[in-house]
A = this chain, B = another copy of it.
Amino acid sequence: MPRFLGIDIGGTNVKAAIVPDDGTVAAFVVRPWSGGPPADVVAAARELADELAPDGPRGIAACGAGCAGLVDGVRGVVYFSPNLPAWRDVELARMLSGALGIPTLIENDANAAAYGEHAAGAARGAANAAVLTLGTGVGGGLILGGKLHRGAHGFAGEVGHATIDYDGVRCVCGGNGCLERLVNAEAIVARATELARGGHTRLADLLRARPLTAKDVGEAADLGDCAAVRTLEEIGRLLGVGLANLVQILDLEVIVIGGGVASAGERLLVPARIEMAARVQGPSWRLPRVTLAELGETAGVVGAALLARDRLRAQA
Which residues of A does B touch, CB under 8 Å?
70, 79-80, 126-128, 140, 142, 144-145, 147, 149-159, 161-167, 173-176, 238, 241, 244-246, 248-253, 278-283, 285-286, 288
- A128 and B151 contact, CB distance less than 8 A: yes
- A127 and B144 contact, CB distance less than 8 A: no
- A250 and B151 contact, CB distance less than 8 A: yes
Could you say how many copies of this chain the assembly holds? 2
Tell me the smallest distance from the CB of A280 to a CB of chain B, in Å. Answer: 8
- B175 and A244 contact, CB distance less than 8 A: yes
Nearest 9 CB-CB pairings of A with B: A151-B251, A156-B251, A162-B245, A158-B248, A155-B251, A152-B253, A166-B241, A175-B279, A162-B248
A163 CA / B242 CA spacing, docked (Å): 8
Which residues in B have their C-beta under 8 angstroms from that of A244?
162-163, 175
Q: Identify A79's interface contact among B150, B162, B278, B283, CB under 8 A.
A: B283
- B166 and A167 contact, CB distance less than 8 A: no
A244 CA / B176 CA spacing, docked (Å): 12
Q: Identify A153's interface contact among B154, B165, B286, CB under 8 A.
A: B286
- A158 and B249 contact, CB distance less than 8 A: yes
Tell me the smallest distance from the CB of A253 to a CB of chain B, in Å. Answer: 4
- A286 and B155 contact, CB distance less than 8 A: yes
- A278 and B156 contact, CB distance less than 8 A: no
Which residues in B have their C-beta under 8 angstroms from that of A151?
128, 144, 250-252
A249 CA / B161 CA spacing, docked (Å): 8
Which residues in B have their C-beta under 8 angstroms from that of A238?
166
A151 CA / B151 CA spacing, docked (Å): 16
Which residues in B have their C-beta under 8 angstroms from that of A149?
144-145, 250
Q: Identify A278's interface contact among B158, B174, B281, CB under 8 A.
A: B174
- A249 and B174 contact, CB distance less than 8 A: no
Which interface residue of A151, A161, A174 has the most chain B CB atoms within 10 A?
A151
A235 CA / B147 CA spacing, docked (Å): 35
- B249 and A157 contact, CB distance less than 8 A: yes
A151 CA / B165 CA spacing, docked (Å): 25
Known pairs A154-B251, A251-B155; A165 contacts B165 (CB<8 A): yes
- A282 and B155 contact, CB distance less than 8 A: yes
Which residues in B have their C-beta under 8 angstroms from that of A70?
282-283, 286
